[in-house]
Structure 1
Amino acid sequence: MKYYFGSGLINSAINALPFELHIPGGYRYCGPGRKLRKRLVRGDKPINKLGAACMQHDVVYSQEKDLSKGHEADRILGNDATDRIKSSDASIGEKAAAVGVAGIMKAKVKLGMGLKGDNNVF
């Protein structure tokens, strides 16, 4: 499996982080700077549905040379996070984390780091 990294100023800064940042609460895939390959090789599992959506987002970014696919992954993660906020089976902690993830993905798309020319965000 080949791994690629998104390009652009924001993604370059994230890829250069010498450490991982995670949402508090045991999330392994939500937050910038994850060492995805190491986590997948170790078999790290997501802690819940939001964590699984974040992991899928990271996998798409790592496998795609086409940055537009990564931007679409941002939109999908934003939608998945919004769904977790509304979900009756999500814990309060997961909902709180989902608010943050949805907000960040929405801002990323709106600021032009995501899908260009599309004003329909989530």
Structure 2
Amino acid sequence: MVGEPQDDCLFCKIAAGQIPADVVRETETTLAFRDISPQAPTHVLVIPKVHHRDAASLAAAEPAIAAELLREAGQVAGEEKLESYRIVFNTGSGAGQTVFHAHAHVMGGRGMQWPPG
């Protein structure tokens, strides 16, 4: 069922505390933790505690939680003292999504080039 934790989802297991993570922030509906394979000096993932395949699915089904995810990404950037940062949502394997649970990458601490790909 959409929104329900998935037994085979890495991020659902992290949100449930079944797999350890380096948590930097937590709210009732979101969890932020350091990426295990950082692509920038600061690289934090912000996930909803509910399961949705990607950001678009989350926004369509639960817009308030999608908005909180963005708010929390900004809070993480502030707490990490990032003056400039990037928030990235990968959607689909062709865009680099490897865990199919909606999540935002908060990256900073170095110059970000454009275009990113």
TM class by shorter-chain length? Answer: 0.3 to 0.5
- Which structure is higher in strand share? 2
Q: TM-score, normalised by structure 2?
A: 0.33
- Which structure is higher in helix share? 1
Q: TM-score, normalised by structure 1?
A: 0.32
User: Quick one: higher RCO (CA 8 Å, sep 6+), 1 or 2?
Assistant: 2
